[in-house]
Chain A
Amino acid sequence: IAGITQAPTSQILAAGRRMTLRCTQDMRHNAMYWYRQDLGLGLRLIHYSNTAGTTGKGEVPDGYSVSRANTDDFPLTLASAVPSQTSVYFCASSNKEEGGELFFGEGSRLTVL
């Protein structure tokens, strides 16, 4: 089934640990995004990639890094997790040539203790 897959779906992590959230899409979309969603706030963009090999910083990039080695994969890494990074993380992709509608993964719920 075509779409966008995230892993893990849920994780509890000790502060200071390193964590990578995985995201894979099979729609051949050129653009990919990582958002975090917190109660009472809108989706906030962490990092994005307009095409394979390029990445950019979003609204809240501090403490996070990404890579885009190929079209399909866009992992998000927390180098040293802190409790304020407790959130639901959504990966999304879009094809800008087709209007830019975002397709979202099912989300990764991360708790940092």
Chain B
Amino acid sequence: GQNIDQPTEMTATEGAIVQINCTYQTSGFNGLFWYQQHAGEAPTFLSYNVLDGLEEKGRFSSFLSRSKGYSYLLLKELQMKDSASYLCAVRDSNYQLIWGAGTKLIIKP
């Protein structure tokens, strides 16, 4: 079956760096997405990786290794507003998105 694994919850300190991991087993691969979802709100797009390597976008970076079925989202200079759930999703061979359950990130002052 298809599976996306990510930690349920993580805690980090304001100003620090945090890495949220995502491992996947899917039928084919056509890209990996990271979304941010604040409590009670809709998910919003953060990043997209289809080739191996690191994609940097401001304080957020996303890494992909297709051979390992692995990605991470790196958040630098954490701010209180970064407290949210972070969703990993993989697009499979049918171009459908398979979603992880999300990682709830708690930022402490």
Contact = CB atoms under 8 A, between A and B. Distances in A.
| Chain B at the A interface: SS class | strand
A85 B44 CA distance: 24
B95 A104 contact: no
Contacts, number: 45
Interface residues of A, number: 19
Interface in A58-82: 58
A100 B31 contact: yes
A55 B48 CA distance: 26
Contacts of A90: 42-43
Contacts of B33: 101-102
B32 to A, nearest CB: 12
Nearest to A45: B96
A97 to B, nearest CB: 12
Interface of A: 40-45, 48, 58, 90, 96, 99-107
Interface of B: 4, 31, 33, 35, 41-45, 48, 87, 89, 91, 95-102
